[in-house]
Amino acid sequence: MSVVLAFDCAVSGLAVAVVRDGGVPLAAMREDGRDQPARLLPAIGETLARARMMRRDISLIAVTIGPGSFTGVRVGLAAARGLAVALGLPLAGIVTTDVLLAQAKARDGLVVAAIDSRLGDWFCAFNDGDRRPCIVSAEQVSKQLAGRPCTIIGPDAERLCAGLPGAKAEQVPPDPVVLARLAGELGATAWHERNRKEGLPRPLYLRGVSVTSSDGTRQTVE
């Protein structure tokens, strides 16, 4: 039996899932808010308890590596790396937009995974061709779509859909069950080998850190 513990903090709040044998969800939970540093480890413990699994039952840990919130990505990866080292387990790092695109895999036509950067643009990935995430404005998304029907998927999809002819929104956060399934496709042995060769997964940042100064102004520090 293979058991994947998967969690996401990259966008907003946190989500945890325990999945068995490549796709059977045993337990999952989601919490909103900004208490990821305080709540992530207790949430993992609660989810394992609901799944009736112990730490020794876990075969693989999976975590989203970004793009997303700078703090959320760091919290998730720090916890994942710590657990992987402490438990001697392989760690799978999955791109957040890959999870969203996988959630919309059954949709026909063009799909855009979109995460609001909160700085006036979007982290996006398209399912037609190169799926690497990039930073784009709403105007650039509109120009690339050129009026083609599409599905915009992500936690703030409805906001991006406004003004995009032919676009429909699927406003959902990254699903930790889908995250677990993506990690499980490669398998624990392959992730162990990748960790050995490349080290543990690192965060995927598409820009520098956004800093708010005491006077309320914001700037990006590379």
Looking at the predicted structure, is the pLDDT value of residue 222 above 60? Answer: no
| pLDDT on residue 221 | 54
Residue pLDDT, tens place only, 92-115? 999 999 999 999 987 888 999 999
| pLDDT on residue 216 | 61
Q: Which CATH class is domain 3-96+174-221?
A: alpha beta
Residue pLDDT, tens place only, 136-168? 999 999 999 998 999 999 999 999 998 898 899
Looking at the predicted structure, is the pLDDT value of residue 213 above 80? Answer: no
| pLDDT on residue 72 | 93
| pLDDT on residue 106 | 75
Q: Give start-end residues of each CATH 3.30.420.40 domain in the chain.
A: 3-96+174-221, 97-171
| pLDDT on residue 215 | 65
pTM of the shown model = 0.91
| pLDDT on residue 140 | 95
| pLDDT on residue 134 | 95
Q: Which CATH class is domain 97-171?
A: alpha beta
> How far, in whole angstroms, is CA 29 from its chain's centroid?
15
